[in-house]
Amino acid sequence: MPKANPATVRYPPEELLFGRVIASLLDTKTQNLQALLRIEPRIVCATGVGLPRTDALHVHATADVLTDVINLNAGALYDIDRTTPLQLWSKNAYRLWIENITGGPVNNLTVRDKYLVDALTTVMKLRRGLDLDAEDERLATKFNLVDNLAAGRLAYGFPGLAAEELMRVVWVSKLMTAGAGSDEEIGPSITIPENQKVILTEIACEAPGAVTDEVYVKVNRDKDQADYLEINVAAMPNSLDYGVPLWVPAVEEMTVRLVCTTAQVGGYRVRYKYARAPLTLSDKVKWGLPMSAVEKEVAEALDLFDRIAAGIYPLGASAAYIPLGG
Please tell me the predicted confidence (pLDDT) of residue 300.
96
Q: In sequence order, what are the beta bridge partners of 204?
A: 271
Q: Look up the pTM and report it.
A: 0.93
Q: Looking at the structure, do residues 253 and 207 belong to the same domain, yes or no?
A: yes
Do 144 and 199 belong to one domain?
no
Do residue 40 and residue 76 come from a single domain?
yes
* 85/218 Cα distance (integer angstroms): 23
Q: Contact at 8 Å (CB) between 6 and 115?
A: no
Task: Please check whether residues 223 and 186 belong to one and the same domain.
Answer: yes
Which regions of the chain are under pLDDT 70? 1, 162-164, 314-326
Q: Which residues, including other chains, have CB under 8 Å from residue 85's CB and lie 6 or more apart?
A: 47, 48, 326
Give a yes or no: residue 315 inside a domain: no
Residue 85 within a domain: yes
Task: Decide if 317 is inside a domain.
Answer: no
Q: Is residue 147 part of a domain?
A: yes
Q: Per-residue pLDDT tens for 195-224?
A: 999 999 999 998 877 888 889 999 999 999
Query: Does residue 320 belong to any structural domain of this protein?
Result: no
CA quadruple 226, 227, 228, 231: dihedral, nearest 10: 160
Domain-embedded: residue 7? no
> Are 127 and 200 in a shared domain?
no
Query: Which CATH number fits the domain that encloses residue 253?
Result: 2.60.120.760
> Is the residue at 151 inside a domain?
yes
Residues 97 and 235 in one domain: no
Q: What is the spatial distance between Cα 37 and Cα 26, in angstroms, rounded to a whole number?
A: 26
Give the pLDDT of residue 163: 63
Would you state the pLDDT for residue 265?
A: 79
- 23/106 same-domain check: yes
Residue 101's domain is classified under what CATH number?
2.60.120.1390
Amino acid at 177: T
Query: 188 with 174: CB under 8 angstroms?
Result: no
Q: Are residues 265 and 134 in the same domain?
A: no
The span from the CA of 249 to the CA of 275, in Å, is: 9
Shared-domain flag, residues 181 and 239: yes
Residues 6+ apart with CB under 8 A from 20: 33, 110, 111, 112, 232, 235
Domain shared by 86 and 176, yes or no: no
User: How many domains does the chain divide into?
Assistant: 3
Residue 254: domain span = 168-278
Distances (CA, A) of 167 to 46, 157, 161, 173: 29, 20, 10, 20
- Say what the pLDDT of residue 314 is: 61
